[in-house]
Amino acid sequence: MLGGEHDFFFISTALLPARGSPEERRMIEFSRVSLKYAATQTLALDDLSLTIRKGEFVYLVGHSGAGKSSFMNIILKRALPTGGEVRVAGQPLSHYRGRRTPQLRRHIGTIFQDNLLLDHLSAYDNVAFALRVTGVPGREWPGRVTAALRTVGLEHKQRTLPVQLSLGEQQRVAIARAIVSDPPLLLADEPTGNLDPDNSREVLRVLQQVNLRGTTVVVATHARDLVETFRHRTLTLRRGRLVRDDALGGYAL
């Protein structure tokens, strides 16, 4: 078990195949969720309702300001909804307040457009850092870190510094860091935004491999070519509302 007896709701079930009742198969549920930023009075999400099932690979697409990042910020409790209810793996997100918020975040892998690697640390140490901050015993690091780097195809570059890696390789190290704790949910916000087409495709292939292991993967992206090439369920947001849900994928903006 990764935490205490009541630490986190993902531990016992989330890595299993999505089976059981419809409620048990849900990873993310937004029910009439709204989000208004007080400083600007901007309505980022407007009565948004959607469900993402355990084990799914889902794209979140939409123009800048459509609500993609706000959707992820709510799940990570970086923003609080001003209306509606959010559940993650069946539990109300409101359950995770104060000191419980880090428990939530420790079990959600995150990847961003900027890889945020520590320049003075090797690929191995960047990935191991995620285990250090979550209190995983040091004896477990070598096996976990090597396995994560192997998943992203960089086991042979464990001792390489970020500056010696291509941008695509750096982003793959960031993916390894995000998955080293075997999170049941992975959120990727514009993970290919700084990459050329070849490296972008490689990152998508890696994310698909992660998904095949049972991890629910949600990718917010503007990259039409990737959405069309690597087809998965695609949710289209416009002005904070869900305007299209394509089970077979496709970019319809």
Sort residue 207 into left (φ over 0), alpha (ψ -120 to 50) or beta: alpha
Q: What is the DSSP code (8-state) at residue 67?
A: S
Say what percent of the chain tops pLDDT 70: 90
Q: For residues 16 and 14, give the distance between their C-alpha atoms in angstroms, rounded to a whole number.
A: 5
Amino acid present at 58: V
Domain boundary assignment for the chain: 118-181
For 165-194, the pLDDT digits (tens) are 999 999 999 999 999 999 999 999 999 999
Of all helices (H) and strands (E), which one includes residue 43?
strand 42-53
Of all helices (H) and strands (E), which one includes residue 143?
helix 141-151
Q: pTM value?
A: 0.89
Is the per-residue pLDDT at 75 higher than 90?
yes
Question: Which residue in this structure is represented by tokens 């042979």?
Answer: 156
For 81-129, the pLDDT digits (tens) are 999 999 998 889 988 888 888 888 888 999 999 989 999 999 999 999 9
Pairing of strands 42-53, 91-92: unpaired
